[in-house]
Amino acid sequence: MGQLFGTDGVRGLANGKITAELALDLSVAAAHVLGEKGEFAGHRPFAVVGTDGRASGEFLTAAVIAGLASAGVDVWDAGMLPTPAIAFLTADLGADLGVMLSASHNAMPDNGIKFLARGGHKLDDAVEDAIEARLGEPWTRPTGADVGRVRRLTDGSSRYIQHLLSALPHRLEGLHVVIDAAHGAASAVSPLVFREAGAYVTVIGASPTGLNINDGYGSTHLERLQRKVIEEQAHLGIAHDGDADRCLAVDARGEVVDGDQIMSILALAMRERGELAQDTLVATVMSNLGMLQGMAREGVTVRQTSVGDRYVLEDMKAGGYSLGGEQSGHVIMLGHGTTGDGVLTGLMLASRVAQTGRSLADLASVMVRLPQTLVNVKGVDKDAVDSNAVVQAAVARAAETLGGSGRVLLRKSGTEPLVRVMVEAPDQAQADEVAHALADVVRAELAL
């Protein structure tokens, strides 16, 4: 795999790593690669482009559109919309390509470029590598009527909202929901669709300026949402990240309901409706052991993949599974979308509360989260972690100490010399003790 693309597109400091020149060149290269793969065969290609509302998204969107149009691709500019909305519109409009300008939950100075293939699917590694390899190459530019045309997509939001409402299994009348849109892409769409679904909605974090995305609001800053839910005596709160591809929740007591709990609730709801393919949920190795235990009690199989929603999605597609996601709140429902969709996830969660008449806290009790400690050990030879006998012996001793009531996981960082030590145990003190002791061994044995 090349050096530019990560697990979710190209991301970094806007106007630092992510420049207008790079955005333009990537768009040209993407048009060439997809065109030569036959994606544009027999017709004039067109793309859908959107942004999460960051100030830097303005010049980067202009650069992406310029690159695509100069390569002969017509462009529909969808403006500020969630990443899953751009994925949906790419499929719904029959576009050959989708592009989203977003750095997701990252702070405002960052931005990123995500490419989507026809149907709204993320590009596979080989295609991304091919795009990276074609950057800056000489090419014959179209002229005259062959250059791409640019139009504003005025009904993208309404198309997406109707799609979300069509997926709703039960309306939300009687529910009071607080929405935190992280001053990002969901600021207009999420409150509107919840109201259209019948809920009474209180909104925070929905005044985007281009400079305040994820700043003290959203799924990485839940404190304001927790306070607001209690203050408003709401039934639940929903928090999105900047591009609204994830969802975390808060129950009526102000307690956080994470992605593992959300997936557990949705798995049982989907099984009840006959929609949980093979009674299986796909999660990552970072999901809490409490979820695995809870799902086992309910007769739901849990498959675990490497960390990253793209790996969850790959496993779902390969096995024909319908529900998957991550503890962080990326939840994928393949019957309704090709990527994690925080607005859809929030709607489905609220729908389950409305349908059952049970509180979110009661529904979330299907699993009990085990205390979890994560220690990042920096400056170590991460590639030696699996072969070092002393480290592996320490892991075995830690696992033996915890028995079946806990779990030990060592995970190598994909981008830096760092090993993540994760321990789950019946109580926090034991999780802390085991994790830090194991981290000391990793540090001593693998220091660079």
Task: Give catalytic residue positions.
Answer: 104
The CA-atom distances, in angstroms, between 245 and each of 24, 86, 120, 411 are 25, 11, 14, 24
The CA-atom distances, in angstroms, between 204 and each of 134, 224, 342 are 43, 8, 16
Nearest to 185 by CA among 208, 162, 215, 204: 208
DSSP structure class, residue 371: P
Number of H helices, E strands in the chain: 14, 19
H-run or E-run covering 393: helix 389-402
* Structural contact between residues 415 and 423, judged by C-beta atoms closer than 8 angstroms: no
* Structural contact between residues 207 and 187, judged by C-beta atoms closer than 8 angstroms: yes
How far apart CA 44 and CA 13 sit, in angstroms, is 34
| Rg of the Cα atoms in the chain | 22
Which two three-digit tokens encode residue 35?
């065109």
How far apart CA 263 and CA 260 sit, in angstroms, is 5
Rounded-to-10 torsion of CA 132, 138, 144, 147: 0
Residue located via tokens 């679904």: 197
* Structural contact between residues 324 and 283, judged by C-beta atoms closer than 8 angstroms: yes
The CA-atom distances, in angstroms, between 356 and each of 94, 275, 349 are 37, 17, 11
End-to-end C-alpha distance for the chain, whole angstroms = 25
CA 192-111-331 angle, 5° bins? 50
Contacts (Cβ under 8 Å, ≥6 apart) of 444: none
Q: For residue 124, which amino acid is it?
A: D
How far apart CA 159 and CA 171 sit, in angstroms, is 19
* Structural contact between residues 83 and 52, judged by C-beta atoms closer than 8 angstroms: yes
